[in-house]
Chains A and B, each alone.
Chain A
C-alpha cells in the first residue's frame, strides 16, 4: 500500500481493492447507492478526501468514526455530499413539498377550530439563498387546493446574512431553476437582461426573510409556539450531538402543539431526541410535536 500525505493532513493509505469493496458495501447499506467497478476511481478519490479531512489514517479508523463518533450523522452527510452531486435548487427533495400539500396542511387545517383565524405559519430554516422558501410558496399556490381559504405566512431564516440578502434579491441562474416546469417559471419568474431568473415581486413579498441563530436561545425566544411547519433540512447534520439536542429543543418550542418539522432525507430526529412523534405519510416521513 502506498501512502498519500498532503499538507497538514493525516497520512492516508491508498485504498486497496478489497477495502474499496468493503467501503462500497458500507455505503450501499447506508444509502442504497451502488457504484460498481467503473466508479472505483471516483469513489476512492472522494473517500480519501474524507479520510484526510477527518484525520483517519486507515479505512478501518474512518469506518469506526462513522459508526461511533458520528451519532448526529454529520460525517456521513459530508461523505454522502462528497459521493453525490449536491446543490441547492428549486423543488429540491420535492416529495416533502408533496407531503406538505397532500398530508400535513390538510391535517393541520382539519384540526383547527372554525373560529381560528390565525395564519398558518411555515418556517424555512435555514433558507440559504431562498430556493426553499420560494419553492414552498410556489408549491402552495400551485398544488394546495385550499390555499385561498387560509392566510399563510412564510418566514425564512438563516444564520448567514449574505445568503439572506441574495434570497431577498431573488435572482437565480439556470441551474437553480432547472427542475421547475416551464409553466411555473413563466408564472413566477422574469428573465433579466443578463439571462438570470428573477422571482416576481408578488412572490418575493410573500416571504419574510431574516437572520437567526437556531443555537441562540435569545434569538429563538420570540418564536415560541409560532409555527405550524418548520422545514429544517440538512442543518442538524452539521451540529455535534449536544448542539443537535439543543436545536431539537428549540424546534420543539418554536412549533405549535401538533406542528410538524421536516428534516433532510438523511437526517433522523429519532437519533437526536424523543420529543417528537414520527409520522409516516405516503410522500415522506416527518416529525410532529405532540398535541399535549
Chain B
C-alpha cells in the first residue's frame, strides 16, 4: 500500500497554546506584514480586539491581496459593532467592485446593528449607493419595524425609480399586507413606467392574505 501508516501513538500534531498578541502588534503586522499569510493571521487574531474596528477598516481600504481583505472582513463581521458597520458602509461608495461586494455581504450578515449606517447610505445623493443600501436592508428589514419603515419612506419619496424597484424586489420576498400602501404610493409616483405598476401589482398579490386575494 502507498498509504502512509500512522505514527505509533497515532496522535495528530498539536501546536502549543500561544499567548494572545497585543492588538498594537497585530495592527502593525496587518499594515506592514511581509506576506499575505502574516497579514491574514493578524487580521483574524484581531477578532479579539473590538476596538480595532476602525483600524481594520482603514487596512481594508489599503489592502490589495484578496485573501487578506476577506480575513479583515470576517473579523469585522465577528466584531459586529456600530463602528465595524460604519467602516464597512463606507466601502459601498468605493469604486472597487470587489470591496463593495464584500462590504454588502458583510453588512447583510451584521444585520440590524448596521441599521443606522443604512439610514446614512439611503441619504446618499448617488442612486447606486442607495440601491446597495437596499440590498443590505433586504437581508433583515422584516425583523424590525424601523427597518421596514425605511423601505416605506424610500418607496414614498426616493426620486429614482430604480431605487424604489430595489425595495419592491426586497418586499417581494418577505413583505406583508402592511407594505401594500407604500407599494401603491410608489406605483402612483411613476405612472410613466408601466413596469412599476406591473411589479407592484405582482408583489401586492403575493403579500396579500390568502382570503383577500
Residues of A within 8 A of B (CB): 18, 64, 67-68, 71, 119, 137, 140-141, 147-155, 157, 168, 202-203, 205-210, 212, 217-219, 221-224, 241-242, 245-246, 249, 252-253, 273-275, 290
Q: How many residues of B contact A (CB 8 A)?
A: 40
Q: How far is the CA of A246 from the CA of B45 in the complex (A)?
A: 11
Q: How far is the CA of A24 from the CA of B145 in the complex (A)?
A: 31
Shortest beta-carbon distance, B131 to chain A, in Å? 19
Specify the main secondary structure of chain B where it touches its partner. Answer: helix
Of B9-17, B53-61, B195-203, the stretch lying at the interface with chain A is B9-17
One of A18, A208, A249 near B6 (C-beta < 8 A):
A208
Please state if B173 and A67 are interface contacts (CB–CB under 8 Å): yes
Please state if B12 and A152 are interface contacts (CB–CB under 8 Å): no
Report chain B residues within 8 Å CB of A206: 1, 3-6
Report chain A residues within 8 Å CB of B7: 208
Report chain B residues within 8 Å CB of A141: 1, 3
One of A137, A221, A222, A273 near B3 (C-beta < 8 A):
A137
Q: How far is the CA of A245 from the CA of B76 in the complex (A)?
A: 11
Asked, given contacts A249-B71, A253-B40, A275-B70, whether A242 binds B109 with beta carbons under 8 Å apart, the answer is: yes
Please state if A148 and B2 are interface contacts (CB–CB under 8 Å): yes
Please state if A221 and B18 are interface contacts (CB–CB under 8 Å): yes
Shortest beta-carbon distance, B19 to chain A, in Å? 11
CB within 8 Å of A: which B94-140 residues: 98, 101-102, 108-109, 139-140
Residues of B within 8 A of A (CB): 1-7, 10-15, 17-18, 37, 40-41, 44-45, 47, 66-67, 70-71, 74, 77-78, 80, 98, 101-102, 108-109, 139-140, 142, 173-174, 210
Shortest beta-carbon distance, A126 to chain B, in Å? 14
Report chain A residues within 8 Å CB of B1: 141, 202, 206
Report chain A residues within 8 Å CB of B3: 137, 140-141, 147, 152-154, 203, 206
Report chain A residues within 8 Å CB of B41: 253
Please state if A208 and B12 are interface contacts (CB–CB under 8 Å): yes
Please state if A64 and B174 are interface contacts (CB–CB under 8 Å): yes
Please state if A274 and B102 are interface contacts (CB–CB under 8 Å): yes
Report chain A residues within 8 Å CB of B6: 205-209
Q: How far is the CA of A169 from the CA of B74 in the complex (A)?
A: 39
Please state if A149 and B78 are interface contacts (CB–CB under 8 Å): no
